[in-house]
Structure 1
Amino acid sequence: MADLLLGDLAPQFELPKDGGGSLSLAASAGKPIVLYFYPQDDTTSCTQEAIDFSRLKPEFEQAGAVVIGLSPDNVKKHDKFKSKYDLTIDLAADEERKAIEAYHLWVEKSMYGRKYMGVERATFLIGRDGRIARIWRKVRVKGHAEEVLEAARAL
């Protein structure tokens, strides 16, 4: 399956979210959406990324943008993660990897010579028109939330 490209319509989803209820792209239609995918709650890089996006949430809101973090963790794990680090962003639980696979982010990874399947850390900036405006793949966490914020402000 071909990767998603700039200008493509962002694949829609509706997933359970931390604290109950659900999250969908449709619910935030007409606003820029920062959709960031990460492998797992409470790991070093994923925690730092969530803390960075939470710290900048007021600035994303000023820019009119919504921030959604998405991983294959369940809602209960998201609730513990948010509580432990005082996270303020919404976290979607994609246990069946439907959104992760729709965005082509379930990939073969390698660590210490061992190959396994996992989530590629990536961020999609979705414009008010529902189309993909920017894509960051294989994200390095340091400075990433700030770079995404600048891009969101420019939309």
Structure 2
Amino acid sequence: MQMHFVLIISVLFSLIHQASTSKVHVRHKSLINLYTMTKCHLQICPLYYNGYGCYCGFGGSGTPVDDIDRCCMEHDNCYSNATTIGGCTCAIQEYLTNYHYQCINHEAYCLKEMNDSCQEWLCECDRTVVYCWAKYKRPAVKPKCKGRVSCNSSVAL
């Protein structure tokens, strides 16, 4: 199982590297869009937040540990709403759907005229979480979700 996870992460990093070195910046898969949008606005890798608290990363449950984790919870809820009311037809679209946006002077703009309703919803979900993260100082440690089994209560960054 751990080897399967390493393979998935390796493929993801390969796709991210390919997308970030490409001259085309407005049409990538949704996870890559989140990566490039975070780089645009915050100038950091969004994987910095992976494993932070209860909601940043895959899955999510419990009570957010702080406001950064609350941003991630709201992002998860936004993605869920994309399927129920945002025009996306299935949950997998949240992670695989292309959407269009532009980065101008470290500001991300969803290109509504080029996106269908699902694409626009996902773009706004990603834009909202990136701008939410921007409100808070970059933490020195990653707090873990209370109540989950963990070797450490926090991880130094």
**TM-score between the two structures when normalised by the length of structure 2:** 0.24
Instruction: Identify the structure with bigger relative contact order (alpha carbons < 8 Å, sequence gap 6+).
Output: 1
**TM-score between the two structures when normalised by the length of structure 1:** 0.24
